[in-house]
Amino acid sequence: TQSTRPQRLLGAVQKNATRGHPRSVIQAIDHFCRNKEWAMNVGDEKGCILDSVVSEVSPATVLELGTYCGYSTVRIASRLPPHAKLITLEFNPEFAVIARQVIAWAGVEDKVQLVEGASGDWIPRMKEQFGVKTFDLVFLDHWKDRYLPDTKLMEECGLLRKGSILLADNVICPGTPDYLEYVRNSPRYESQYFKSHLEYTKVEDGLEKSVFLG
Give the footprint of ligand 76B on this chain (CB under 6 A).
Answer: 40, 65-66, 68, 89-92, 118-119, 141-143, 146, 169-170, 173-174, 198-199
- Closer to ligand 76B by CB, 91 or 179: give it: 91
Angle formed at CA 181 by CA 179 and CA 184, multiple of 5 degrees: 100
Residues 6+ apart with CB under 8 A from 43: 30, 33, 71, 198, 199, 200
CB of 6: closest distance to ligand 76B in angstroms? 11
- What is the residue-wise DSSP string for 59-78? -SEEEEE--TTSHHHHHHHT
Instruction: Tell me, yes or no, if 141 is annotated catalytic.
Output: yes
Q: Which does 65 bind (CB under 5 to 8 A by kind): Mg ion, ligand 76B, none?
A: ligand 76B
Choice among 141, 150, 205, 208 that is catalytic: 141
- What pairs with residue 29 in β-bridges? none
Instruction: Tell me, yes or no, if 169 is annotated catalytic.
Output: yes
150 binding Mg ion? (CB under 5 A): no
The pair phi, psi for residue 160, each rounded to 5°, is -110, 140
CB of 42: closest distance to Mg ion in angstroms? 5
Dist CA 39 CA 193 (whole Å): 23
Dist CA 2 CA 94 (whole Å): 14
Interface residues for Mg ion in 33-92 (CB under 5 A)? Answer: none
- Closer to ligand 76B by CB, 153 or 188: give it: 153
Nearest-CA neighbor of 102 among 33, 36, 6, 37? Answer: 6
Three-class secondary structure of residue 109 per DSSP: helix
Instruction: Tell me, yes or no, if 56 is annotated catalytic.
Output: no
Dist CA 45 CA 7 (whole Å): 23
Instruction: Tell me, yes or no, if 44 is annotated catalytic.
Output: no
- Closer to ligand 76B by CB, 199 or 208: give it: 199
Q: Which does 119 bind (CB under 5 to 8 A by kind): ligand 76B, Mg ion, none?
A: ligand 76B
- Closer to ligand 76B by CB, 119 or 210: give it: 119
Choice among 64, 150, 169, 208 that is catalytic: 169
As annotated, the active-site residues are: 141, 144, 169-170, 199
